Amino acid sequence: MTTSIDPGEDRLHLPPSSGEAFRDAVTFSFGDPAARLYGFARLSHGSDGAGGRAVLYAGDKPVAASAAREPAAAGETWDALTAAGVRARVERPLELWTVSFAGDGGAFDLRFEACSAPAVLDADSPVGTAGGLQGYEQLCHVTGSVTHGGRTHQVRCLGQRGQGWGTRDWRRVELARTVSAWLGDDRALTLAAVRSAKSKSHLDEALSAFVFVGGEPMEVADPRLSTTYDGELRPRRAGVELWMDDEDEYGHRVAGEVLCGTSLDLGEQRLDSAFFQWRMEGRSGVGRYDVLRRVAPAGGRKRSR
C-alpha cells in the first residue's frame, strides 16, 4: 500500500500515445445539511475528449443536472477544460482547489481546502486492478456560494475531492460503487467497490476503504458494504462494517439512508447518484453513495430503462 502521493500527481494526466481508453478525472462533492444543499461536479479527460457531469440538490430535489462531452483539452491543465458547465482549477496541489458549475436551474462556485492527507488507492490493489484505476481522496472544508431559485446561498460545510486515472475496461466491469461519509472534521469514511462482469453477486466485489481520523487516513483491513435498492436499482439504505485489522474484536458500523438522488444516462453506463444521511457511533453527517453500472452488455444492445 502506498501511504503518500507526490503533489506532482495533482495535475491533468494526459493519455499515453497508446492509451485510447485512458482517462483522468477529478470529482468534487459537498453537503451542507444546515442549508439542505448538496452537489457534485466531475471533469474527465482522455484521448477521445473531455467529459463533465454535475448535479445540484436543494432539499430532496435535484434542481440542476448536466452531463456532456467536449473536444480534448487545448492545454495541459485542468483549467483548460470546460464540460457540462463545470470548470476546475488546482490552486495549490493536494491543498486547495476551486470548482464551479453553471446549469439550467442552479449553479455553484466553491473553494475546497484539504483537511486530511490523501487516502491513496494503488493501481495494483484489488480495487485498482479490478477497476483499472489509481488515485486518491481527501476530506475538505468547502466554502462558497450556491445559486438556485433566484437566490444565492453561502455554504460552509464538509466535502471531498478525489482524482483517479487509468484505463477502465467496461467489458470486464459490471459496476463500480463509491461511498463517502463526512462525520466531522476529525472523522470520515471513503469506500470504493468494483464488481467484475464475471461476478455472481456483490460478495465477489473488490473493496477498499479508509477511515479518516484526525486528518489521517487509516486503511480498513476488511470493509463490508450492504445495500437496499428500490425497484429501479437505486440505493435507498446502506450499512458498512469496518474491521480495521485482523485482531479487531468488534467492527465499526456505519448506517445510512437516502436524502436525495437522481440518475444520469451516460450512454453505455448509468449513474445512480445519491446523498445519504450517515450515522456512526454517536456521530452523524452526510455523504455520497454512487453506483455506476454498465447498461449495455459487451457486444449487445443497450437495455431500456
- Give the DSSP per-residue string, 237-304: EEEEEEE-STT-SS-EEEEEEEEEEEEEE-SSEEEEEEEEEEEETTEEEEEEEEEEEE-S-TTSPPPP
Of 157, 241, 237, the closest CA to residue 191 belongs to 241
Residue 186 predicted with pLDDT over 50: yes
Q: How confident is the model at residue 296 (pLDDT cuts 50, 70, 90)?
A: low
**Pick the residue with more confidence: 200 or 282?**
282
Mean pLDDT of 145-149: 96
Look up residue 170 and give its amino acid: W
Mean pLDDT of 198-217: 87
Q: Distance of alpha carbon 276 from its chain centroid, rounded?
A: 13
Of 113, 45, 106, 100, the closest CA to residue 73 belongs to 45
Residue 301 is predicted with a pLDDT of 38
Average pLDDT, the chain: 91
Mean pLDDT of 37-51: 94
Strand-strand pairing, 61-70 and 86-92: unpaired
Q: How confident is the model at residue 73 (pLDDT cuts 50, 70, 90)?
A: confident
The pTM is what?
0.93
Residue 304 predicted with pLDDT over 70: no
Q: Is the dihedral of CA 295, 296, 298, 300 positive or negative?
A: positive
Report the range of poorest mean pLDDT among 129-133, 168-172, 286-290, 294-298: 294-298
Mean pLDDT of 64-74: 88
Mean pLDDT of 106-114: 98
Residue 139 predicted with pLDDT over 50: yes
Please give the helix or strand (H or E) that residue 32 lies within, else none: strand 22-32
Report the range of poorest mean pLDDT among 135-149, 150-164, 287-301: 287-301
- How many CA within 13 A on the CB side of residue 211? 18
Residue 297 is predicted with a pLDDT of 53
Residue 202 is predicted with a pLDDT of 66
Residue 199 predicted with pLDDT over 90: no
Residue reference for cell 459487451 = 298
Mean pLDDT of 269-284: 95
Q: How confident is the model at residue 168 (pLDDT cuts 50, 70, 90)?
A: confident
Domain-wise residue ranges, the chain: 21-294
Q: Are 23 and 44 in contact (CB under 8 A)?
A: yes
Nine-digit cell string for 290: 454512487
Q: How confident is the model at residue 305 (pLDDT cuts 50, 70, 90)?
A: very low
